[in-house]
Structure 1
Amino acid sequence: MNTLSPFHLAIPVSDLPAARTFYSTTLALEEGRSSDDWVDYNFFGHQLVIHHAAITSPQKSKDHSEVDGKHVPVPHFGIVMDWDLWHKFAEELKSKKVKFEIEPHIRFQGKVGEQATMFFYDPSGNALEFKSFKDTSQIFAK
């Protein structure tokens, strides 16, 4: 399969106004349709929907997977960005005082699949990863 299609992802949030501020302001995503219980976002061409759910505390994952010496939260979601855009975005997030679970860094340096990556949580504890490959032909390389 060589054609990319937009994905649809719906995630739970415990505090819709706080999540809305995070996705609209911190991540600067374009808001789409909404109701009192959910908000659609243009997540880099994909449809992300935050749904208010009865979560009594943040859902920050206790599960992690070891990847290149870092404890990656599982589950997580995110996007593969253009190299220059990723670096600009990382600086913007730092200036907005985003608390990183894994600071922006280069993973698999000098190896197949070398990539820039960072992890952080939204206000409801959903883990996000933003990454970039300097050579996009290596996204699925072994």
Structure 2
Amino acid sequence: MRPSAILESALYVTDLAAAERFYREVLGLEQIARAEDRHVFFQCGRGVLLLFNAEATRQQPEPGAKLPVPPHGTAGQGHLCFSATADEIERWKAHLTEGGVAVEADFHWPAKPGQAKGGRSIYFRDPSGNSLEFAEPKIWGL
């Protein structure tokens, strides 16, 4: 057996309100759920991006809790990559720059066997310091 896709991806943030604004207003993601001081969730294509206040998710759920999700959380900078075409990456770079978000890196990956050229990536940070990327799927041969 093998999983068919990743349904959710999680990042842990230090300022939930700032992260909520950034992912909604700068990245334009559709917010689908929110729990005060705990989490905010966004739809992204066919997947879901979960943003958590790590301190709030490290607690064991109460016995009989409605949602008995086991504790989880991490500290430090995480990473997430969004899929984009070459044209979309160029537009994202301009959009981020115009919005005051620094693009830390912009480069082309080496070509995979059988490819004429490699794909492009740009990297930037969210308000909590998480490393975000827009990349062409062909960086993975997809």
Q: TM-score, normalised by structure 2?
A: 0.69
RMSD: 2.8
Q: Deviations over 1:93-117 (max 9, x none)?
A: 1111212221x33332xx3361110
Q: Distance in 1 between matches of 2:55 and 2:121?
A: 31
1:94 alignment partner in structure 2:
97
Larger Rg: 2
2:76 alignment partner in structure 1:
59
Q: Distance in 1 between matches of 2:130 and 2:87?
A: 25
2:67 alignment partner in structure 1:
none
| Larger strand fraction of residues | 1
Q: Distance in 1 between matches of 2:97 and 2:4?
A: 30
1:1-142 equivalence runs, <5 A: 5-36=5-36, 37-54=38-55, 59-60=76-77, 76-102=79-105, 104-108=106-110, 111-112=111-112, 114-133=118-137, 136=138, 139-140=140-141
Describe the shift of the 1:94–1:44 C-alpha distance in structure 2 as closer, same or farther (beyond 3 A): farther
SS at match of 1:34: strand
1:44 Cα offset (Å)? 3.1
Q: Deviations over 1:70-93 (max 9, x none)?
A: xxxxx5221221222222122111
The residue type paired with residue 136 of structure 2 is S
Q: Distance in 2 between matches of 1:45 and 1:90?
A: 23
Structure 1 unaligned residues grouped into runs of 5+: 61-74
Maintained 8 Å contact 1:31/1:40: yes
Runs of 4+ residues deviating >2 angstroms? 3-7, 104-108, 138-141
Percent identity of paired positions between Structure 1 and Structure 2:
25
Maintained 8 Å contact 1:79/1:130: yes
Maintained 8 Å contact 1:119/1:130: yes
